[in-house]
């Protein structure tokens, strides 16, 4: 129960604040009742003893790492949206994100919805439940738990937050940079032209057109990032 609840607390989609707490609690109890009978008997420990607390904290740590591995992929999409918003002068257009408790640019929310739909379409929620059940075999209750090798692998994968976000945003950012350079040349050649009145709506329209053109390729790269998340989870669990 501790491992499953901590994983769903931080995991994307299933752990979102948009999912009512009662639904998440019922899902945790249902998964626990389905998985527990298939596991060997855990090591005995007196209730509330030091050994019992050590096992409990160990299970919470494993669950948090499982959810955090997938959360890094979703944060990469939000990071890409923030970089595109900064290039297109859309940083002021923000929405309140209930999942993080902060304001996120609209493009970040848009890409977060896109990666969420892709995650569900590829059966990511079912894979997450499958890896949760498999984790009790790879890291049994009362075993060694999470050590430095697992943390080292997870920290190495955390660089995908920046690398993956840059991979998603770079084509649109380069095109917007070329448009801004062209506007700068026009401004130097025609000083009387009000670039703010012309360049601002032009950059917004160009950003929307570029997103429309680049979205299929961005979805493919999001799928690659999700595959990398599953591989990272398999690596540190095994």
Q: Kindly state the tokens that stand for 181.
A: 């350079």
Helix (H) or strand (E) holding 103, with range, is: strand 102-105
Share of the chain above pLDDT 70, in %: 87
Q: Kindly state the tokens that stand for 11.
A: 């995991």
> What pLDDT, on a 0 to 100 scale, did the predictor assign at position 97?
60
Sequence-ordered alpha helix ranges (H) in 44-194:
50-87, 106-121, 124-138, 148-157, 160-189
pLDDT value at 103 more than 70: no
pTM over the 0.85 mark: no
> What pLDDT, on a 0 to 100 scale, did the predictor assign at position 202?
80
The full set of domain ranges for the chain reads 2-38+45-237
pLDDT band at 98; cut points 50, 70, 90: low
Q: Kindly state the tokens that stand for 235.
A: 């690596």
> What pLDDT, on a 0 to 100 scale, did the predictor assign at position 100?
55
């Amino acid at each position: 129960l501790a491992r499953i609840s901590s994983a769903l607390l931080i995991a994307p989609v299933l752990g979102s604040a948009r999912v009512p707490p009662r639904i998440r609690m019922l899902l945790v109890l249902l998964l626990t009742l389905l998985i527990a009978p298939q596991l060997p008997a855990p090591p005995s420990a007196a209730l509330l003893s030091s050994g019992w607390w050590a096992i409990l904290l160990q299970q919470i740590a494993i669950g948090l790492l499982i959810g955090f591995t997938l959360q890094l992929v979703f944060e990469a999409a939000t990071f890409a949206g923030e970089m595109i918003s900064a290039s297109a002068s859309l940083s002021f257009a923000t929405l309140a994100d209930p999942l993080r408790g902060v304001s996120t640019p609209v493009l970040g929310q848009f890409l977060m919805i896109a990666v969420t739909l892709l995650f569900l379409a590829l059966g990511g929620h079912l894979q997450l439940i499958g890896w949760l059940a498999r984790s009790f075999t790879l890291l049994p209750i009362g075993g060694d738990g999470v050590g430095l090798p697992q943390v080292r692998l997870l920290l190495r994968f955390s660089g995908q937050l920046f690398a993956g976000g840059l991979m998603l945003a770079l084509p649109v950012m380069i095109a917007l940079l070329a448009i801004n350079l062209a506007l700068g040349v026009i401004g130097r050649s025609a000083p009387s032209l009000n670039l703010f009145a012309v360049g601002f709506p032009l950059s917004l329209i160009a950003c929307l057109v570029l997103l429309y053109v680049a979205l299929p390729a961005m979805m493919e790269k999001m799928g690659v990032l999700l595959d990398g998340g599953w591989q990272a989870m398999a690596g540190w669990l095994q």
